[in-house]
Structure 1
Amino acid sequence: MTQRTPFVLLVFGAIALAQAPPTGLTVVEATKSAVSLKWAAGDDTATSYVVERKPLNGEYGPALTILESTGRDTVIDSYATYVYRVRAVKDQNLSDPSNEVTVGPPPVGLQVIVPEPEDGSASYVGRSLAQAFDANGDPALAYLIDDPNQDGDYSDSTLWFLSWNRALYKWNDAVQVAVVGIVSGAAHSIPPISLAHDDSDNTWAIAHATQLMEGASMIEVHFSRDNGLSWSRQLVASDPQNAVSAPAMVMTGGIAHIAWYHDYNGVRYAQGKLVAEAAPFDNSVVPFLPGSSSATPYLSMALDANNNPGLAMIGNDDSNGYNRLVGFWRPGTDPVLVTTSNGYQIDDPQIRLAFAGVMPRVLTTLRRDDNYYSDYNHALWLSRSDDGGTTWAEAVNIPSDGSRSLDPSIDHAYGSAGQGALVAESNGGSLDGVQCGEPKLSRSDDLVNWSTCGPAPLGTPNTSAAFPTVRFAGNDKLYVAFLNLAYGDDALPRGVVLWREPF
């Protein structure tokens, strides 16, 4: 590697000759481990090139010295943003720099990535957000646009996909995946779509439930193997008389694992390779939880660190009509009871499964004690297993931010050291004691003692969050996505928002 030297102007008689700078610097490819560049020579006199690099808002330094007009930088931080430029070298003199290019993951802080429509109707754009990472650890989102023309006919509702392009350092244009019509289970507590990415073959897939006609519905998966540019369809299940809803999906090793709720016979599970317009997968009924003979549409799937799938679900207690049973299941095993609502009635729970390594964690919104209506600190509960799901510790109550409630939609994720982060909507209570904005963000190092705040302090800017999702990046910093519905001069612009935690 050569040392950086100053630009030198060579003068011969009355004529000044300067090395022409390279032009057209572009990023050929950017991954979490390397950045490939190319450029055109400013003239044919250069003997070599110096590729200079700086961190965003930093100072330039030499990164590569090469003979050709292409370069590959392999000494990078996967989660850093870099700016590159190139200088030509002749007789140890450097030309002026080329144009600059920026490479890396999304910017830190709050960013509106899908602005509300010009008619100001953000409430129907960006519903039911789902978040997943690509092979580089960059986020992508799936979401719904309900009744786009707002005429009361939901048959034209659409499913969308949005991904980050680290080579161009920008969001790709949002892609309409399909017209999905009336989506079943659009309530905040029953996610109607599920987004997954398979790193092994770079497949994106989105499962969704659609109501076809009165009493008929189906589960479909739309999948893409070209980074979301084009999409194919696989029918998973349909029923002309009984509703199917609440799809939950993960993918690994070229195989999709899908669970969904069937109104007649409970939760069903299927696995298989996604093939365009193929026949539905063979599927089977997931066993009922101990003490239950009826399931509910509240379910969630996740992969552990060994890429083994798990399913969390809520069932009804046969011996107590008010009691909700929370369970965990892996394909090929019997389901295990995780916790219960302690005999208290809860009409609209939600459940989310995530793993810390191979250890499952189940987050639920439940009424479990008499304090549920007396304050706003007894609605969200975390259950943990430290033996792979065989036994479960007593559920831990998650405290709120002041006198605000913690409500569906909820989500949670876990970092490399097992630390936890969870997000929730906040639709009730007062501002007494509130310190932070929305969505509510709770964090814990030991999963017992939790503190709740938000991505930003209260009112800086003002946000009103729906459908929040959270993921830990590989550097243990968070990505939180949500639909912002706040109004006012002090509000963040309405639309789909991504918050990337600063370093």
Structure 2
Amino acid sequence: MRKFLVVAIVCTVLNVVMLHAQELKVKSATAKVVDLGWTGAASPAVLERSSGQTFQKLVPANSAGYQDTSIDAFGTYQYRINTNGKFSNVVKVGPPPTGVSNAAAVPKGSDPPNYGPATAVALDENGDPAVAFEWIDPNGDGEKSDTEILFARWDRSTYKWEAPVRVATTGPLEDQNVNPIALGCDRATGTLAMLAAVGENLLYATSTDHGATWKTSSMPSANETPHSVAILIESGQVYAAINAESGATYVNGAISNSGSWKSQPIAAGSGWKLQNKTNIGIAADSAGKVGLAYNEDQLEGDGHRYVFWRPDASAPTSIADKATADSPDIALTHGANKFATIFAALLDSNDTDHTVWYSQSVDGNSWSKPVKLPIDGPRSTNPPLGIAISSKGAITATFGANSGSGPASCNAPSVSRSADGAIWTSCGLGKAAGADFSPQPATLHVIEAPNDKAYIVWQEQAESKYGPGVLVWHER
């Protein structure tokens, strides 16, 4: 009996040792390849992969590593080593999980409203969201001179959001009703570029190592104090709009050399002037031709309107006239061969609560009649605004809801969706996520991944199971 007991103990110990010795690691993971390495596996061990509930044999684990190129760019996978039914640890790779995750949780002891009141989002080289955001008064001493811009990205290899990286200490940013930070990525190379309105100047920052380190430089604004910025990155080139105290400017040039950028004034219509403390929307069509959308005030009179302009045009085209708004705002995107925009305006005198409208254009010269976006409850619709469009033409719009007689039935943040821009259905994110989110985030964005799945990014101040911070929702 004792002999058999000793043998059983030895076998158990050997099995435990074998399990611990089979250590599987992800060396790197992108949208194209997953590079795996392991130790302790011997024949007849096999590498197994799962994209759901069931693991299947991938290759024999004869060597110490394997590069899996047979993956869907936006698939989520789990891997393990199987040695006669004895398994190694399991590793997981892929884009952010569907639903809500916290990309940058508010640090312990920090004031949630100060963490992320201004944000910007772009797709990285994998098609995953990367986020830049403001942190006011990090040390909590009541002085804003140490305000900084941080950057957070999703790491497919560790299947989690990386800890935020400091891009620059800036001092106070103007984050009231405007976007003082803009972020872009040259997806062909992975180079990131950031533009920010900082005091009397512009901050320009670039990163060539996935946001781990940043090279920054300060540039004077062409029109005194800059307020809002917008940026596009494509094929090594920067295309940007800066709305400042004394005018607005369009710039373009190489990512690597901001000193060589060319600039030109953004045109206003005859008898009109750009409103300086507002956002400018920027998007490029399928041919790479850039368009801008912005708000104008009448020079003599009380008129307000939203317009669209291309840098090679002498004057802008009207999107919506008589567009009075307490807080003017506009967002612009392009997809499925059309420009799409949402903007804040009091276009219906009988309904002052619903002030977010949609319009679209194939060529930028003729715009559809504005359509009012609904909300799923007795709430208002108002800035901040975000819009994205899929390759098939499906549109996702996000907006705030700062007042109302009751909660929205789907909770917040407010999201409205349409297949064609004519008929819209609104339903927020909170109910499905099992959380009570704030109806009026300070910042709100939506971006469409190449697989036609949307990401929504916002600052959340309220406590929930996700915690306060910069939250990201990924469409299923």
TM-score (norm 2): 0.89
Aligned-residue offset at 1:325: 2.1
Q: For 1:103-252, what aligned pairs fall within 5 Å after superposition?
A: 103-119=93-109, 121-184=111-174, 186-188=175-177, 190-211=178-199, 217-238=200-221, 242-252=224-234
Cα distance in 2 for residues equivalent to 1:98 and 1:437: 42
Q: Which residue of 2 aligns with 1:479?
A: 455
Q: 2:311 aligned with 1:331, yes or no? A: yes
Q: What SS does the aligned partner of 1:80 have?
A: coil
User: 2: distance between equivalents of 1:292 and 1:178?
Assistant: 37
Partner Cα separation in structure 2 for residue 192 and residue 152 of structure 1: 21
Quote how far apart the aligned CAs of 1:207 are: 0.7
- How many aligned residue pairs are there? 461
Quote the residue 1:3 is aligned against: none
Distance change >3 Å, CA 480–CA 459, structure 1 → 2 = closer
What does the per-residue CA deviation read over 1:222-263, in whole Å, with 9 as the maximum and x for residues that have no partner? 110000011012344336x83222111111111111110232
Indicate the residue corresponding to 1:98 in structure 2.
Answer: 88
Output one character per residue of 1:136-186: Cα deviation in whole Å (capped at 9) or x when no partner. 1111111001122344432211000000000111111110100011213x1
Q: Residues 104 and 163 of structure 2 are in contact (CA less than 8 Å); yes or no, is this contact kept in structure 1?
A: no
Structure 1 residue matching 2:113: 3-state secondary structure: helix
| SS state at 1:457 partner | helix
Q: 1:61 to 1:400 in 2, by over 3 A?
A: same
Contact 2:103 2:152 in 1 (8 A): no
Cα displacement (A) at 1:115:
2.3
Cα deviation for residue 389 of structure 1 reads 1.2
Q: Deviations over 1:363-383 (max 9, x none)?
A: 11111231343xx23x00111
Q: In the alignment, what sits opposite 2:3?
A: none
Judged with a 3 Å threshold, the aligned counterparts in structure 2 of structure 1 residues 371 and 236 are, in CA distance, closer, same or farther, namely farther
The aligned amino acid for 1:364 is F
Are residues 1:404 and 2:379 paired?
yes
Do 1:116 and 1:122's aligned partners in 2 also have CA atoms closer than 8 Å? yes
Moved more, 457-466 or 444-453: 457-466
Question: Which residues of structure 1 form unaligned runs of 5+?
Answer: 1-11, 89-93, 212-216
1:247-286 paired onto structure 2 within 5 Å: 247-264=229-246, 266-275=247-256, 279=259, 281-286=261-266
SS in 1 for 2:107: coil
Q: In the alignment, does 2:364 pair up with 1:364?
A: no
1:422/1:443 contact within 8 Å kept: yes
C-alpha distance in structure 1 between counterparts of 2:449 and 2:226, whole Å = 33
Q: Is the 8 A contact 2:229 2:242 kept in 1?
A: yes
The question of whether the paired residues in 2 share the 8 Å contact of 1:235 and 1:280 is answered with no
The structure in which a higher percent of residues are helix is: 2
- Aligned 8 A contact 1:49 1:68 in 2: no
Instruction: Give the counterpart letter for 2:435 in structure 1.
Output: P
Provide the rounded CA distance (Å) in 1 between the counterparts of 2:250 and 2:274: 16
Instruction: Tell me, in whole angstroms, the C-alpha distance in 1 between the residues paired with 2:158 and 2:412.
Output: 30
Corresponding residue SS for 1:260: strand
Post-superposition Cα deviations, 1:330-361, rounded to whole Å, max 9, x if no partner, equal 2223343232342x532421011111234111
Task: Supply the distance in 2 between the matched residues of 1:402 and 1:47 (Cα, whole angstroms).
Answer: 62
8 Å Cα contact 1:84/1:101 also seen in 2? yes
Cα RMSD (Å): 2.6
Shift of 1:208: 0.4
Unaligned runs of 5+ in 2: 1-6
Q: TM-score, normalised by structure 1?
A: 0.85
Question: Is 1:73 equivalent to 2:68 in the alignment?
Answer: yes
Q: Distance in 1 between matches of 2:432 and 2:188?
A: 41
Change (3 A) 1:357 1:331: farther
For 2:312, what is the secondary structure of its paired residue?
coil
Contact 1:289 1:325 in 2 (8 A): no
Matched, 1:312 2:308: no
Q: How many Å separate the matches in 1 of 2:141 and 2:381?
A: 32
Residue identity in the other structure for 1:249 = I
Question: Which residue pairs with 2:79 in the alignment?
Answer: 84
CA deviations over 1:317-338 (Å, ceiling 9, x no partner):
345x322221112222334323
SS at match of 1:298: coil
Alignment of 1:392-431 (within 5 A): 392-431=367-406
Moved over 6 A (4+): 15-19
After TM superposition, give the deviation of residue 205 of structure 1 in Å. 1.3
Change (3 A) 1:235 1:357: farther
Counterpart for residue 6 of structure 1: none
